Amino acid sequence: MHRALVILFVALCPSLFAQKAKSGKVGTPPPTKAPLVSVDVTKLPEGTTQLDLFLLMGQSNMKGRGVMPEEPKRDPRIVMMHLKDDQWYLARHPLHLTGDAQTFKGHDNAGVGPGLAFAETLAAANPQSAIGLVPCAVGGSSIKLWQKGAKLYDEALRRAKLALQKTAPIKAQIRGVIWLQGEANANPAELPLHADHLKAMIESLRGDLALPELPFIACTIGEMKGEEALKNIKAMNDILLALPKSVPHTACVDARDLKTHIGDQVHFDTAAQEEIGRRFAAKAAGLAPP
């Protein structure tokens, strides 16, 4: 009897996942391997001469919802600052882990975002550089929460300064910000204000970090929804693509051609996220000082 119930459950699983996809409530499977591997960020990995830090900011597509690989990445040249305990570990999916580093208890729906592919591409192009990722994204967040004095901005700034403090013995530097946000503000009431909010956030961040030329790379949001919603999404993407024309030392990844998602027409799937990460890296290389 027990065996028959198990077989029945397995047979029903595909239809259950299909129902979730149709409803837009698509879950991200939990991580399969734990715990995280702790690292000492006061020592550079063998063969490297510097640690380059990058802030990952935005909402759920930066946080990532893509399905994670069976085996976690364990590249000693790529490390991450854990959201929960502010400690450093070998970078792996999900970068925006909200669960405990040892047990993963408290993990939410975070999955594959663009951050790790971004770091891997940078590391491959610069063998002497180690990459330190500082995840800060929060799903569903409005750009209003990323303005100076608002809680997400203040938390990102705190983590950035803490990352610099903890890596001071090896003189790590913040080399840039990657930003994937806009779905929360893609509506007629907020679109007219978005460009000004984005510019103000960048200027505040550069001022508070005393990095007036800090590279900032945005990315367009997914153009995967129906015609009614697509009008506002395209308007948001026009704002993001225009950013380099109005704010120096910025760039924008064009991801409008990437249409694959996790079943909800909002969140990029793993393949799209990794391609976005590679495109972020290409833009970062273009903004890097000679």
* Radius of gyration (C-alpha) of the chain in whole angstroms: 19
Residues 6 or more apart whose CB falls under 8 angstroms from that of 99 comprise 31, 84, 105, 106, 107, 108
Q: Is domain 31-287 classified as CATH 3.40.50.1110?
A: yes
227 and 176 Cβ atoms separated by less than 8 Å: no
Model pLDDT for residues 219-265, shown as the tens digit of each residue: 999 999 888 889 999 999 999 999 999 999 999 999 999 999 999 99
C-alpha span between 146 and 184 (Å, rounded): 12
Q: What angle do CA 235, 242, 186 make, to 5 degrees?
A: 25
Confidence band of 163 (pLDDT split at 50, 70, 90): very high
C-alpha span between 145 and 162 (Å, rounded): 20
Model pLDDT for residues 85-103, shown as the tens digit of each residue: 999 999 999 999 999 999 8
C-alpha span between 30 and 104 (Å, rounded): 9
Residue type, 76: P
Give the per-residue pLDDT at 31: 60
Q: What percent of the chain has pLDDT over 90?
A: 80
Write b or e for each residue in 91-118: b if 16 or more Cβ atoms lie within 10 A of its Cβ, otherwise e.
bbbbbbbbbbbeebeebebbbbbbbbbb
Model pLDDT for residues 49-79, shown as the tens digit of each residue: 999 999 999 999 999 999 988 888 889 999 9
Q: Determine how many CB atoms are found less than 10 A away from the CB of residue 24.
A: 11
Give the per-residue pLDDT at 7: 39
The pTM score is 0.89
- Helix, strand, coil shares of the chain, percent, nearest 5, are 40, 15, 45
212 and 206 Cβ atoms separated by less than 8 Å: yes
- Domain segments of the chain: what residues? 31-287
Any long-range contacts for 240-244 (C-beta under 8 Å, 24+ apart)? 240/182, 240/198, 242/195, 243/195, 243/198, 243/199, 243/218
Q: What's 262's DSSP letter?
A: S
Phi-psi region of 104 (alpha: psi -120 to 50; beta: other; left: phi over 0): left
